[in-house]
Amino acid sequence: MPRHARIDIPGFLQYVIVRGIERRDIFITDDDRDDFVSRLSALLEETSTACYAWALLDNHVHLLLIPTEISLSILMRFLLTGYAVSFNLRHKRAGHLFQNRYKSIVCDGDAYLLELIRYIHLNPVHAGKVTDLDALA
């Protein structure tokens, strides 16, 4: 069964979820997290992409983005390919790091935007990675 085409137009608010293959961790050390955030920050600046929220959990990532100059697919290809290569080199492993392709949902409406920002920022609390809201800072 073929995949459905994504709505991938610069200027649309996109909620993106990326998962590790077989639900494995994609962040093992703080160096992994730093590498991902550094790559994401550089790409956001280079492509004038707005990021309204993000959360890195051990085996998945949530992003809320508005790409303006390039499509989301190009941004994600640069981000995920570069990160996967450096992760594999750093941890002396080979093969796929991410499960399937990233999932993206076009968001419409201010009420939904606020709810998504809340959901993404509270995700580490709900997952038990931090104990309370103060630990998110």
- Give percent of the chain above pLDDT 70: 90
pLDDT at 123 over 90: no
H or E element that contains 18: strand 14-19
Domains of the chain by start residue, with CATH? 14-136 (3.30.70.1290)
Angle between helices 72-90 and 30-47 (to 10 degrees): 150
What the block records as the tokens of 55 is 């959360």
DSSP 92: T
Identify the band that residue 133 occupies on the pLDDT scale cut at 50, 70 and 90: low
How far is the C-alpha of 137 from the C-alpha of 128, rounded, in Å? Answer: 15
pLDDT at 31 over 70: yes
